[in-house]
Homo-oligomer: A and B are copies of this chain.
């Protein structure tokens, strides 16, 4: 299976929810190359990451359907005849989830049920790959973190993402709607939202570096993270979607190296040739939900699918910085209105 998972997608009908977002649009590019029939579903809710420029260059080879996945009748229609669904739509801001837990609940829990109920009732043969998150682990008891670590989220977003993941496992086990979850760590690369700083730190740091601004690090910057370049993350989704060995399972999908915030930002400033780093005290409300160091053990997924990250951090940062330098206005200016 590791040799021909790419071949699997030729002519396959695939749907990506959140398909105009960061990982979704990068995955769409890969699927187009592989000859899949690609349907992108995205709500284009402002501030969430969907961006029509993300499909620049492939727009004529994908089908775009603007819709909210909370809408049951729409989803009942859209899931029909799809072979694989990549469930990437979500509210990803921890901070927003603590301000407005209800919207996070609607998007990360209810909407997952909406898609799964649509599949159960209208396309039970489909395979669903869910974008999980390392956030479900919360503050780790030990490192690296494997899938045997307790799920103990430290914010509302992590709780709701855990529920969304578990729905996929139950629908797999009870209703036979094949599904699995990839618990992504810190994915970075081109096409990530960098318009505001509420969707993860790395895209925001990259923007600050490009704009020659100051990157603030809380504490001494010794906390460790692992990073996955978005092409490697897309490859993980392709492998999971093509593999029935993954059904009913959760997998960590993380980078091979643990890197401190200090080393990350030093490297970023060096690669960008601009920006600078400043170390500041932890704000109390950030410290309350901080998880310290985190890096994942992705052995389970590597063993199941043959996946491995291929893009070293320095290369990935170089590509990312180059992309945003070329297209900064598309990611920091006013969002484009949807077109039909």
* Residue positions of A touching B, CB distance < 8 A: 98, 101-102, 105, 109-110, 113, 117, 148, 150-156, 159-160, 162-163, 166-167, 169-170, 173-174, 288-289
Is there an interface contact between B105 and A109, defined as CB atoms closer than 8 Å? yes
Residue in B98, B110, B173, B174 whose beta carbon sits within 8 Å of that of A105 in the complex: B110
User: Please, which residues of chain B bring their CB within 8 A of the CB of A150?
Assistant: 148, 150-151
User: Please, which residues of chain B bring their CB within 8 A of the CB of A160?
Assistant: 109, 163
Is there an interface contact between B166 and A159, defined as CB atoms closer than 8 Å? yes
Is there an interface contact between A288 and B148, defined as CB atoms closer than 8 Å? no
Is there an interface contact between B155 and A170, defined as CB atoms closer than 8 Å? yes
User: Please, which residues of chain B bring their CB within 8 A of the CB of A102?
Assistant: 110, 113
Residue in B113, B151, B153 whose beta carbon sits within 8 Å of that of A170 in the complex: B153
Q: Which residue of B lies closest to A101 (CB)?
A: B113
Known: A155-B170, A162-B162. 11 other contacts (CB 8 A): A101-B117, A101-B167, A102-B110, A152-B169, A153-B170, A154-B170, A154-B173, A154-B174, A156-B167, A159-B163, A159-B167
> What are 6 residue pairs bridging A and B, where the CB atoms are less than 8 Å apart in the complex?
A152-B169, A153-B166, A154-B173, A154-B174, A155-B174, A160-B163
User: Please, which residues of chain B bring their CB within 8 A of the CB of A162?
Assistant: 162-163, 166
User: Please, which residues of chain B bring their CB within 8 A of the CB of A109?
Assistant: 105, 109, 160, 163
Residue in B98, B151, B166, B174 whose beta carbon sits within 8 Å of that of A98 in the complex: B174
Write the nearest CB–CB distance from A94 to chain B, whole angstroms: 11
User: Please, which residues of chain B bring their CB within 8 A of the CB of A105?
Assistant: 105, 109-110, 113
- Bound-state CA distance A167–B256 (Å) is 32
User: Please, which residues of chain B bring their CB within 8 A of the CB of A289?
Assistant: 173-174
- Bound-state CA distance A98–B167 (Å) is 11
Is there an interface contact between B173 and A288, defined as CB atoms closer than 8 Å? yes
Q: Which residue of B lies closest to A116 (CB)?
A: B101
- Bound-state CA distance A12–B98 (Å) is 30
User: Please, which residues of chain B bring their CB within 8 A of the CB of A101?
Assistant: 113, 117, 167
User: Please, which residues of chain B bring their CB within 8 A of the CB of A110?
Assistant: 102, 105
User: Please, which residues of chain B bring their CB within 8 A of the CB of A154?
Assistant: 170, 173-174
- Bound-state CA distance A151–B152 (Å) is 9
